[in-house]
Amino acid sequence: MLLTAGFASDAKAHSLDEVNAMLQSDEKYFQTIDKPAPDFALRTADGRVVRLADLRGKVVVLHFIYTSCPDVCPLHAEKVAAVQAMVNATPMRSQVVFVSVTTDPSRDKPEVLRDYGPAHGLDPVNWLFLTTAEGQPEDTTRKLAEAFGHTFTKSEDGIQAHGIVTHVIDKEGRWRANFHGLDFAPVNLVTFVNALTNGVERPHHERDSDQQGGWLTKLKNLF
């Protein structure tokens, strides 16, 4: 409870512009973006079609993986799970959805999709694992990943070489940030998501009374 209260009271007062500036100086794996997110209509393990428009009103944390990946994909899923755990310990839980998209739909069947998240610490309460919908080409999700800036090299044994990026989409469906690789600080992504959930776009002129490290340091100390 103290963690949640501290997060809400300290971070809520800062605009997205201020958070962007702070993260650009504090988080070298952070990239700010502001353009419409690539659209999609994909299928869950239980056959339900999910469109980007269906997620309006929530902040979306999205990444691309495939379940037979032997190395970085499981680590990426676990990194996102760590972010999710931090978000879900706050009132943001109902305002954020975590989306994993498989780039290997021919192998990642419904039963595989259902088992993957819990095996890597992802909470199904606000997590979706999406694959191609019925009738879509097999490369639909790879083309979506390319629209998000990824490139692929696929070997004969099914290994896919691609970048590791966590994408953040705001409540209006705009792509607002990338967090590159696996070495970003989870609290920095949570900080950015918090600014988006609060919808604070206009900067204000209040400053922390503590000038020795400011609110971002205080926020990190909560975790």
Bridge partner list, 101: 64, 130
209 pLDDT more than 80: no
What is the domain-level CATH number for residue 218?
Answer: 3.40.30.10
Is residue 46 left, alpha or beta, with left meaning phi > 0 and alpha meaning psi from -120 to 50?
alpha
- Is 196 part of any domain? yes
Helices (H) and strands (E) in the chain, counts: 7, 10
pLDDT digits (tens, 9 = 90+) for 52-106: 999 999 999 999 999 988 789 999 999 999 999 999 999 999 999 999 999 999 9
Least confident of 56-60, 75-79, 118-122, 151-155: 151-155
Q: Report yes or no on 48 lying in a domain.
A: yes
In a domain, 205, yes or no: no
Within-domain flag for 152: yes
Dump pLDDT digits (tens) for 177-198.
Answer: 999 999 999 999 999 999 999 8
Would you list the DSSP string of 113-170?
HHHHHHHTT--GGGEEEEBPPTTS-TTHHHHHHHHTT---EE-TTS-EE---EEEEE-
Give the chain's domain count. 1
- The amino acid that residue 200 corresponds to is V
Range of the domain at 168: 2-200+213-222
Residue 149 lies in a domain: yes
**Is 68 inside a domain boundary?**
yes
Beta bridge partners of 180: 165
Query: Does 207 map to a domain?
Result: no
Neighbours of 182 (CB within 10 A): 13
Residue 83 within a domain: yes
